[in-house]
Structure 1
Amino acid sequence: MEDLGDHPNPQNDVVDADDDDDPPMLSSETLSALKEFLAQQNRPLGVEPDPDNVESGEEEVALMAEDWKLSQFWYDRETAETVAREVLTLCQPSDSRVACIACPTLYAYLKKLNHNIAVQLLEYDKRFEQHGTDFTFYDYNRPEELPSELKHAYRIVVADPPYLSKECLEKVAQTISFLSRPQESYLLLLTGGVQKDTAAELMGLRPCGFRPRHSSKLGNEFRLFTNYDPGNRLGGWEQED
């Protein structure tokens, strides 16, 4: 995240700093940078025109600023669109309800590709309350403290646990079990490759060839796991040793 206080000449940011009777004042340059930062923090997660592709009609998804204290790292465009298109492929005309656990980027791209799809975003960050009834507050430490109408209501559940720990994945797995329909659900999990064995043990998931990427370059290897064979999509299931 950009540090607004990092300036070559910080002393220029204060006017009359030596006058103890006057409160310190920010320079116009710092005020402008602060306003830009605050606008970025509160920018809605949605779809906006891409100025570089106005004639082609392409749209870019506008995302809120990542809050690294909440372990937020948004997918890059290719990853978000690839996973969103996979989810839409799995949807049936009569049943297109999708649950997104801690993956707001995917929520935004699903809405971009199909405004009519019913997507429930389960998120800890209450900035996403702006999405109204599409938003459900979610704390992975309380995996089943969710509205009763969500129980076993989804054929498609996509999850991106906020932390790369076995404890976090175990609790998210409880939430997935709460949301998904027994024996008839498609599960997609985006998390670190180190969780491969735990994902298989808890939910019978296997890694796909497709490698998710983030806008912020992370050092950890990320993988996409599913409980179904995607065939030629997503790079297919990775062959077991």
Structure 2
Amino acid sequence: MESAGATNPLQQNDGAVFDDDIPQLSSHALEALREFIAEQNRTVVEASSGEQPEEEVALLAEDWRLSQFWYDRETAETVAREVLALCETLEFPSVACIACPTLYAYLKKIDPNVQAQLLEYDHRFSSYGTEFTFYDYNKPEDLPSSLKHSYSVIVADPPYLSQECLEKVSETISFLLRSGKSYLLLLTGDVQKDRAAELLDLRPCRFRPQHSSKLGNEFRLFTNYDPGMRLGGWEGE
């Protein structure tokens, strides 16, 4: 649950607010929200400054109003390395990151040459230049035609845990996905398990994504391929 794509992010489904649309925070995270919102436009100090561990990636501050909750370092690195491992199996690898700027940042940190595109609602990420595309999940196919059927690896993190949001993100995935050999990874709440299977034919892995803000919701990583020994394998295998 990395970033919103809604023009009114806290209000969906004919104006009604649903509990499953809004992430549930732990008491510790709620206490920290004041600081997050106050510092939403402050960038994290660069790793080279020596004020943060070298392995960390500099990220913009989370904006809770856009449903932004960054992955922790272990999650971001694990998923990024999985994506890069998948790219090695492809002749012409290309990666689309839908509403998951943390993953994009770690991908480029580990392999600056990886061909990756970030589709994101928050214009602060336009600093990524041509690898940034504005994306509003309410308009799932309102994207440049050059992106259509262009990506063999897609990672998506829908901003809300609603059926409507996942359905629309699924439309975006169909728009972007290249025919032939391709891989899909979805990071979302466990409550979306049945919908992920129905809409995208995905199965959950044993690996459990974690966020820096310690969300109360249980999150899962779903894939359309058998990861084997990686990511803990498929659940139930």
* Pairwise TM-score range, normalised by the shorter structure: 0.7 to 0.9
Q: Contact 1:154 / 1:181 at 8 angstroms: preserved in 2?
A: yes
Which residue does the alignment assign to 1:168? 165
Gaps of 5+ in 2: 1-31
Instruction: Output the amino acid matched with 1:196.
Output: K
How far did residue 165 of structure 1 move? 0.3
Summarize the Cα distance change of 1:47–1:184 in structure 2 as closer, same or farther, 3 Å threshold.
farther
Whose RCO is larger (CA < 8 A, sep 6+)?
2
Q: Which residue of 2 aligns with 1:180?
A: 177
Which of 190-199 and 174-183 deviates more? 174-183
Residues 1:181 and 1:162: Cα distance change in structure 2 (over 3 Å): same
2:62 corresponds to = 66
Contact 2:205 2:235 in 1 (8 A): yes
The higher radius of gyration belongs to: 1
Counterpart position of 2:153: 156
Aligned residue type for 1:43: T
CA distance in 1, matches of 2:48, 2:232: 30
Task: Report SS of the residue matched to 2:47.
Answer: strand
Deviates more, 1:60-69 or 1:208-217: 60-69
Sequence identity of aligned pairs in percent?
A: 70
Q: Provide structure 1 residue ranges, at least 5 long, that are not aligned to the other structure.
A: 5-36
Q: Which residue of 2 aligns with 1:221?
A: 218
- Indicate conservation of the 8 Å contact 1:49/1:59, yes or no: no
How high is the TM-score relative to the length of structure 2? 0.80
Equivalent residue in structure 1 for 2:114, among 117, 136, 143: 117
What residue number does 2:48 align with?
Answer: 49
TM-score by length of 1: 0.79
Count of aligned pairs = 204
- Separation in 2, partners of 1:77, 1:104: 13
Bigger strand fraction: 1
Q: Is 1:208 paired with 2:199?
A: no
Q: CA RMSD in A?
A: 2.2
Distance 1:53 1:60 in 2: 7
Conservation of the 8 A alpha-carbon contact between 1:205 and 1:225 = yes
**Structure 1 residues 69-111: Cα deviation after superposition (integer angstroms, max 9, x where no partner):** 1100000000000000000000037423100000000000000
Residue in structure 1 matched with residue 99 of structure 2 by the alignment: 102
Cross-structure match for 2:6: none
Alignment partners' CA distance in 2, 1:119 and 1:147: 15
1:89 corresponds in structure 2 to 85
